[in-house]
Amino acid sequence: MLLRIAMTRLSSPADAEDVVQEVFLKLLTTRPHFRDLEHEKAWLIRTTLHRACDVARAAERRNLPLETAEVLPGGEMPEPSPILSAVQALPAKYSAVIHLYYYEGYSIKEISKLLQIPLPTVGTRLSRGRERPTFKGGCGMNRQNYRAAFDAVDFSPDFEERTLQKLAAMRHASEKEQNKMSMNRTKKITLLAAAAVALLAVTVSAAVLWLTPAQVAEELNDPMLAEAFQSEAAVILNETQTVGDYTVTLMGMVSGANISQWCADVQESRTYAVVSVVRTDGTPLTEENYDVVPCGAFTVTPLVSGYDPRAVNVFTLNGACSSFLRDGRAYYVLDTQSLEIFSDHTVYLALYEGFAAPSYERFSLAEDGTVDLRDNVTGCMFTLPLDTHTADPDAARAFVESTGIPWEPMTDAQLAVQEAHEDLEVEKSADGVGNQTFLIQEAN
Residue 90 · residue 132 · CB < 8 Å: yes
The predicted structure's pLDDT at residue 343 = 92
Please name which of 7, 18, 22, 42 lies closest in space to residue 204, comparing C-alpha atoms.
Answer: 42
The predicted structure's pLDDT at residue 207 = 33
The predicted structure's pLDDT at residue 36 = 65
Please tell me the distance from the alpha carbon of residue 174 to that of residue 212, in angstroms, as a whole number: 26
Please name which of 189, 209, 191 lies closest in space to residue 200, comparing C-alpha atoms.
Answer: 209
Provide the residue type at 240 as one letter: T
The predicted structure's pLDDT at residue 250 = 92
The predicted structure's pLDDT at residue 179 = 52
- The domain segmentation of the chain, as residue ranges, is 2-160, 210-403, 412-442
The predicted structure's pLDDT at residue 255 = 92
The predicted structure's pLDDT at residue 77 = 47
The predicted structure's pLDDT at residue 283 = 81
φ/ψ of 346, rounded to 5, equals -75, 125
Tens-of-pLDDT digits for all 444 residues of the chain?
788 888 888 888 888 888 888 888 887 776 666 666 677 788 888 888 888 888 888 877 665 554 444 444 444 445 667 888 888 888 888 889 988 888 888 888 888 888 888 888 888 888 888 887 766 655 666 778 888 888 888 888 777 777 777 766 666 665 555 555 434 333 434 444 444 444 444 443 333 347 889 889 988 889 999 999 988 888 888 888 888 888 899 999 999 888 888 776 656 889 999 999 888 877 888 877 666 544 457 889 999 998 888 889 999 998 888 888 888 888 999 999 999 999 999 999 999 988 788 888 889 888 888 889 998 888 999 999 888 889 999 999 899 888 887 656 566 665 555 555 445 555 656 655 555 555 555 555
Please tell me the distance from the alpha carbon of residue 296 to that of residue 124, in angstroms, as a whole number: 55
The predicted structure's pLDDT at residue 353 = 84
